[in-house]
Amino acid sequence: MKFNPDSAALWFEDLQRYTHTLPLHIRILILIAAVFILLIVLLIGIIISSRVYKTKQHLYKTYIQKKYQPILTSILFDDDERLLSPDLVKLFDPKDLYKQPFRNFILEELQLLRQNFRGETGERIDLLYRKLSFDKDSLKKLKHFRWYVKAKGMRELAMMNIVEAYQHITPLIHNRSGILRMEARIALMKLSTNDHLAFLGQESQPLTEWDKANIYSMLSTMSDVELPDFSRWLHASNETVVTFCISMIGVFKQKQSIPSLIQLMQNGSDASKIEIIKVLKVLQAKEAEPALVAMYATSNGEVQSQIIDALEVLASAKSISFLKSILITLKKDYRKGIVAIRTLQKLGNEGLSAINEIAAMPSENFELLLAHANDQRI
Amino acid sequence: MGLFFYYFTRFADHFILIYSSILFSTYFILSFFSALDILNYIRKNSFIDHRSILNAPSAPSVSIIAPAYNEAATIVENVRSLLNIHYVNFEVIIVNDGSKDNSLDLMKEAYQLEPVDYAIELKLESKPIRAIYKSKLPGIGKLIVVDKVNGGKADALNAGINVSNYNLFAAIDVDCILEYESLLKMVKPFMEQKPDKEVIAVGGVVRIANSCEVRDGKIIKVNLPEELLPRVQVLEYIRAFLMGRMAWSRLNGLILISGAFGMFNKKIAIEAGGYNHKTVGEDMELVIRMRRLMEERKKKYCVVYLPDPLCWTEAPSSFNILSRQRNRWTRGTAETLLIHKKLMLNPKYGFLGMISLPYWFLFEWMAPIVETLAFIYLIIMTFLGILNVEMFFTLFFVIYTFAIMYSASAILFDELSYYQYKQKRDVFRLLSTAMIEPLIIHPLTVYYAIRGNLDLMTGAKSWGEMTRKGFGTPKPN
């Protein structure tokens, strides 16, 4: 069948005439449906283009990988002198070298390698990164207005040890974006030459537990650096910095800070108190026992639970009457009772006779708690 | 009479038109917010290594609570899968909710369970606990099995909370498959909470596992379901989870975290009264009650939703099972909204009272009812011979094209964010499903929802048994 433009035009005219006879609201609805159909076509187009783009990208990556894998392997792993030569760039096709997809791909590869290699190979990766001028790209990213581009740049610079970037990164620890602040801290820890945690003194925003986990995670990978004395920040104005440093004293067993911790425990915030009590338990700071017992009555429920927990390790015979009174008055919080019983059990005959005395008293739940405490499987 | 009829039909025509327009507009708005949030989340996540949590001294401990009722066919494998979750400090509490089959015996045998003298503090009401078991085997110390009198899912979860030792608990369907890093991802928002804004609950995207290849309790290959019914549910889940709940989370108005997998602040859940035994929508009801508590205390809080696929579940593949599920969902929504009717349009409850609950009332509970009434109205009009045929077909066509467009947007969301269905034909199969769904499956789900409402009125309380086929195993080469 042949297409006849005249009959199509006639058909279109008929349609137009017909739609003009329809009421306005129906014409509006037809228009809306037409918009929806257009949008459907557009969405399908985007979906298919996205698939095509993904496939093309994959093919391009495979092509580049095939082309440059031997060169990268040779210059990074085989002591290839060409890495040091000024002609290094000649190993790369100029058509590729200045193309953004190529640079992105090579940069990704270098980052992946850098994550897995340290020592001499790591240094060679850093050198190649500089020689291909990726450091300039990353520094440019630091000035970008989008937070995720900035963060990407910072990550690259930190990973490739570009020490000169330190001064550019420092102001970013006060940025509005939490991710940027986090990346800035990690970068500063990596790039600083001596005081790796100096930024803690400048922290203006509260550190979340997630921030703390990341700082600790970074710190635990830096086995070659000297750890600071964390008691240095125990009186920082940012309370979350204080609690972080308290927990680090425990993690890195900085026992010399125990007196400062006991002192802070008596007048610090509840959050600091909880953290300090946990750390005193970890450090087995027996000298904290009297202070813990003394502050129990004036503390809130959470701090009280932590005190009982800590006494499991720190208690001596001096705490028996205290623990006994806890058990006699205990109405709820079974966990506290179970820990108190277990602590008494550890305190030898005196502790056991205290348990027997309480058992002889009328109590709703002591028998239950005792049975639980005696069951070593739970 | 004639004048009344005239005004009635005028009102009905306008009501249908206005209701649909508002519904479509809210879908548009929600999709917009959702797109923004997913984009932001993915960008943020590209800088995040969740493994940092594993070594962190401050990593929170989590109690995973999984109620089990007549799960003998898969219970041993499912427990093993839960014990192998990639996390540091956790315990797995399996609550055998008075199963009539041999679930408990199988667990006892497989994990060499023995009863222990556990002192249980009854913070929440639940049916009596018969015994608590721990394993004799080394390396299974994280497992606690609670055997209790049957009381339903909410009751079993409350019993699990009473036994749990940690400050966060994850409620999970025992037959769900968790993603490798799901617990790490769920815990992160709790670690990110600021001192002045508490995270009270976290939910994540649940995906359909039908036709996926599963080995040792893990998804090894994601496939689009072969059967039409589960495939329609893939679309429904993407629309609900990626396009709906994500936006509600951004607006801090989310009131539903799937019962299949959610994590909660235990202290607040207990203070709110735990799971409600009186509704089959216990998951939604708990979130609303926790939010209500925070609003009444005038404390800042949020319910976080993660767009990551965290949990895989088997969707009903028969109309019979689907009908029971949808019936229960409808009753759950209605019961929850009725329990909390005091909050509706009450400015004291902020966004929750003024936007979230009215939206759920108007567009989740009422939508099937409005659709059905509109359908009945059309039939009456046809019989009376006064149906405006042009209007009817045009409106039908607008709604149909909108439904396809909305589903196509969902497919695009998935394509650009998590790209789950990678085979070339998957896109076309999903698109064709989007075209069929409004004509065949949607009317049925409306019918099931109406049945749910009728059951609600007659006081039916049944949970509606879900018979599972079990997950597919890889085909031998």
Q: What is the DSSP string of B265-331?
A: EHHHHHHTTSS-TT-S-HHHHHHHHHHHHHHHTT--EEEEEEEEEEEEEPPP-SHHHHHHHHHHHHH
Interchain proximity B56–A213, CB inside 8 Å: yes
Give yes or no for residue B477 having a pLDDT over 70. no
Question: Quick one: closest CA in B to A21, which residue?
Answer: B390
With contacts defined as CB-CB under 8 Å, which chain B residues touch A112?
Answer: none
Which tens digit of pLDDT belongs to each residue from A26-81?
888 899 999 999 999 999 999 999 999 999 999 999 998 888 888 888 888 876 67
Q: Which of residues 333-362 of A touch B (CB under 8 A)?
A: 333-335, 337-338
Query: Regarding predicted confidence, which is higher, A361 or B372?
Result: B372
How big is the CA angle at B149 (ends B148 and B154), to the nearest 5 degrees?
80
Q: With contact defined as beta carbons under 8 Å apart, do B215 and B278 qualify?
A: no
Which tens digit of pLDDT belongs to each residue from B334-344?
999 999 999 99
pLDDT band at A2 (very low <50, low <70, confident <90, very high): low
Q: Which residue has the tokens 């997950």?
A: B471
pLDDT for B133: 95
Give yes or no for residue A378 having a pLDDT over 90. no
Q: Which residue has the tokens 């004395």?
A: A229
Which tens digit of pLDDT belongs to each residue from B66-107?
999 998 888 998 898 899 888 989 999 999 999 999 999 999
Find the mean pLDDT for residues A270-299. 93
Helices and strands: H and E segment counts in chain A: 19, 0
Which tens digit of pLDDT belongs to each residue from B175-188?
888 888 899 999 99
Distance CA A163, CA B42 (A): 29
Backbone angles phi, psi at B253, to 5 degrees: -130, 15
Q: How far is A227 from chain B (nearest CA, A)?
A: 17
Interchain proximity B391–A251, CB inside 8 Å: no
pLDDT for A18: 81
How big is the CA angle at A80 (ends A76 and A83), to the nearest 5 degrees?
70
pLDDT band at B475 (very low <50, low <70, confident <90, very high): very low
pLDDT for B77: 86
- Predicted-complex ipTM score: 0.86
Distance CA B343, CA B337 (A): 9
Collapsed DSSP state (helix, strand, coil) of residue A333:
coil
Which tens digit of pLDDT belongs to each residue from B213-251?
888 778 889 999 999 999 999 999 999 888 888 899 989
Spatial CA neighbour of B68 closest among B102, B118, B119, B109: B102
pLDDT for B190: 95
Interchain proximity A250–B427, CB inside 8 Å: no
Strand partners, B177: B312
Distance CA A147, CA B60 (A): 29
Q: With contact defined as beta carbons under 8 Å apart, do B209 and B312 qualify?
A: yes
pLDDT for B476: 43
pLDDT for B463: 60
Distance CA A202, CA B76 (A): 53
Find the mean pLDDT for residues B161-165. 95
For A85: left if phi > 0, alpha if psi spans -120 to 50, otherwise beta; the answer is beta
Q: With contact defined as beta carbons under 8 Å apart, do A243 and A268 qualify?
A: no
Q: How far is A274 from chain B (nearest CA, A)?
A: 12
pLDDT for B471: 61
pLDDT band at B130 (very low <50, low <70, confident <90, very high): very high
Which tens digit of pLDDT belongs to each residue from B8-55?
888 888 888 899 889 999 999 999 999 998 898 889 888 888 888 888
Q: How far is B120 from chain A (nearest CA, A)?
A: 8
Q: With contact defined as beta carbons under 8 Å apart, do B97 and B282 qualify?
A: no
pLDDT for B93: 96
Interchain proximity B47–A369, CB inside 8 Å: no
pLDDT for A3: 66
Interchain proximity B117–A374, CB inside 8 Å: yes
Interchain proximity B55–A216, CB inside 8 Å: yes
Q: Report the predicted TM-score, pTM, of the whole model to 2 decimal places.
A: 0.89
pLDDT band at B1 (very low <50, low <70, confident <90, very high): low
Dihedral sign, CA of A114, A117, A118, A123?
Answer: negative
pLDDT band at B450 (very low <50, low <70, confident <90, very high): very high
Distance CA B410, CA B233 (A): 12
User: Which of A166-175, A368-377, B461-470 is the least confident region?
Assistant: B461-470
With contacts defined as CB-CB under 8 Å, which chain A residues touch B401?
Answer: 33, 36-37, 40
Which tens digit of pLDDT belongs to each residue from B276-296?
988 989 999 999 999 999 999
Which tens digit of pLDDT belongs to each residue from A255-266?
999 999 999 998
pLDDT band at B461 (very low <50, low <70, confident <90, very high): low
Neighbours of B403 (CB within 10 A): 19
Q: With contact defined as beta carbons under 8 Å apart, do A152 and A125 qualify?
A: no
Distance CA B90, CA B111 (A): 18
Backbone angles phi, psi at B166, to 5 degrees: -110, 165
